[in-house]
Amino acid sequence: MEDLKARLERYMADHGLRSTSQRRVVTDVFFQSEGHYSIEELLAKVREEDPKVGYATVYRTLKLLKESGLANERHFGDGFTRYEVAIEDDHHDHLICLDCDAVIEFENEAIEHLQEEQAQKLGFELKHHRLELFARCHRPGCPNKKAKRP
């Protein structure tokens, strides 16, 4: 986490931005979090630390983190924008349940190799990619289970 904080401080200094106590609370909570958070979900976690932090502060801080390359923005088809910490050299893909909205991160070298191979076969040099698989899980008793869809 210290590396993430140092990178953010450098970015802010380079762009003439100042650090506030509320912004530090938001970044600390975000950097310590695992998973994918909407603004509302992160706001709830941040308010456990500092109840005075508002929606706009969380929104602007996540925008700053995205612009600085420290957060990835994700859209999993549920109508919410979610954010995750962007860790260098940490690539993973996502499996999203259409029934309960569970998001599972996974890594698979065979898939990575196939994507690279396909790009080369089509005359491309792959720079980055994002793989999101949408499926229906069969976990019994899923706490997020929605009403059955046809």
Q: How far is CA 17 from the centre of its chain?
A: 23
pLDDT at residue 144, as a whole number: 61
Residue pLDDT, tens place only, 119-134: 999 999 988 787 888 8
Give all domains of the chain, ordered by start, each with its CATH number.
Answer: 2-85 (1.10.10.10), 93-135 (3.30.1490.190)
pLDDT at 88: 65
93-97 vs 132-135, strand pairing mode: parallel
d(CA 85, CA 64): 12
Q: Say which residue, 149 or 112, is predicted with more confidence.
A: 112
Q: What is the pLDDT of residues 51-66, one digit of tens each?
A: 999 999 999 999 999 9
- This prediction has a pTM of 0.68
67: number of CA atoms within 13 Å, CB side? 11
